[in-house]
Chain A
Amino acid sequence: MLTKELTAASTVPLVLSVLSEGENYGFALIQRVRELSGGKIEWTEGMLYPVLRWMEKEGLIESEWKETASGRRRRYYQLRKEGRKALRTEQEQWMSVHTTLVNLWKINPRST
């Protein structure tokens, strides 16, 4: 399980990344992250929506209510241009952290 701090820090890049696969709605977004992380990333589900709302305000994503074939209404989110840009920045930053850690741990893999 991730620490609270890391969960909070990784929410935005995770949402951006899942949405880069195509538009999606909140519940499915959570399922996708859970599935990809092998259950290691467990969000307090209600906390995702304020984050989505914040991202929408920042202009990273946009949303639209749609009705599914089964008649259920859902709010779908998709990336905007700024979101793609933000995703690239996030990618660079997370990769640089990742590379640094990997390099360090290659020298001294036991220390954590």
Chain B
Amino acid sequence: MENKPSFDLNRALRARLEELSQSGSLHADDLQELEHHLRDSIAKLQSSGLSLEEAFLRATRNLGGSEIVADEFLKVNPARIWPSRILCLVAGAVLFFVLPSLCDTASGFVMRMLWRLPISGHVLGLLALVLRWSPLFGAILAAGWWMNARGDSWTRAAAACFRKPLLTTSCLILIPIVLAYGLRLANVFFPLVFDGPGWGWRDGQSQWARLATLRLWSPWASFIPAGPPQEHWSGAAFYLAPALLIFLAVVKCRGPLSQPGAARIWAPRVLWLLMGAVTVYSVLNLGHVWWVDKGQGVTYPFGLPLLMNDRFPINGNLAGLVVLIFWWGPLAASMLGLGWLAGAKGELCARVIKQLFRRPVLSALGLMAFPVISTLFFRPVFADLSLFQGSHTVPQRLLTVFDWCHYGGLFAPVCLLLGMFVYLIRRRLNRVARLA
């Protein structure tokens, strides 16, 4: 017969306290006090004739559910949660903009020097790829290592990804490359999907051939001016590297994620992460409007309209609208979902988002209506730059689509932030009114 494993009180207690500490609302002191409470309670229950395990179960039941207790602690330790929120906010901002551009600067500098050497485009591209992402991965590794020592599950997951740093890093670099080649193959069989000439893969000694090859590996290599535009699809390696990182993190997080109540802990974190990204995006784009206004030119942040324009000969205005919805729909939906997962209790960001989305259809319409209205408003302002004519000639339609994306796209997240801001101010005013 199989031996029943003996009950380990210390381990059971640790697991229980870990559950509580996950919420981030308890001080170390609070946890210690609860531990002593549980031990007292168990000792008392044991003296009344219960076995150790029964006493533990009864004592933890009497203590109350982790969620409820953590929520109560959150009310008295509101400051406890802010470092975690800010960490996520900053992480979102960093992931969105700061780290990639730092990586670009560093790798661009090295690549500019290497470009002068007669090295194959493949080697250059690979080098660019490694140079571009290794600081990012390094930073996550360092953060994971640092937080691991402190036992916080938020980045312990990141640390777990990098427990074998060499293996993980090579996977991160290799898999996107394989995928990029996969896309190349797809291009052979389905030339309609990816209609680039693909001659870059053949490499060569001429400047153009090398440039094309390099751009296949790393399309952000903008330090070398003007390349053939057909390689847009080939950013696979570039874009899939961080996507893979996120995938790995999710796989590694299965443990913490499958714990009961994990959604309530993780959803707010991801929500704050998204908010960080949205904030940076909005700030950047507001600056961008000024930049455009000075008449220095227009840059297009999105490659999708280009694809759409080629494939579907529909009116430019309609296409622009579709792209706009396609662009912001997932963000709005994920925020709504996360707000729902996080529950309206306790978590500020989730509560605000939930308020905004209490009538999801109305909110979604509002969120989309604002960019559309702002686009219409900016039509005359940018009349010289934008065409907005919805004509059927290809370049005009393309420009119209860009206009929608560009001027409309700018204001969708601003609108979200504005909504949150208004809600927070209103809440604060209500509270002041109640106190008075």
Contacts and interface: CB of A to CB of B under 8 A. Distances in A.
B36 A46 contact: no
Most chain B CB neighbours (cut-off 10 Å) among A25, A44, A46, A49: A46
Contacts, number: 56
A98 interface: no
A50 B68 CA distance: 11
Contacts of B369: none
Interface residues of B, number: 21
Nearest to B30: A49
B9 interface: no
A50 B75 CA distance: 8
A5 B91 CA distance: 41
Most chain B CB neighbours (cut-off 10 Å) among A26, A53, A54: A53
Interface string B1-37: 0000000000000000000000000000110111011
Interface of B: 29-30, 32-34, 36-37, 39-41, 44, 62-64, 68-69, 72-73, 75-77
Nearest to A48: B37
Contacts of B68: 44, 46-47
Interface residues of A, number: 18
24 contacts: A25-B36, A26-B37, A27-B37, A31-B44, A45-B37, A45-B41, A46-B34, A46-B64, A47-B69, A49-B30, A49-B33, A49-B37, A49-B69, A50-B72, A50-B73, A50-B75, A51-B72, A53-B73, A57-B76, A72-B36, A72-B40, A73-B36, A75-B29, A75-B33
Nearest to A74: B36
Contact of A50 (B39, B41, B76): B76
Contact of B40 (A27, A44, A46, A53): A27
B62 A49 contact: no
A72 B33 contact: no
Contacts of A57: 76
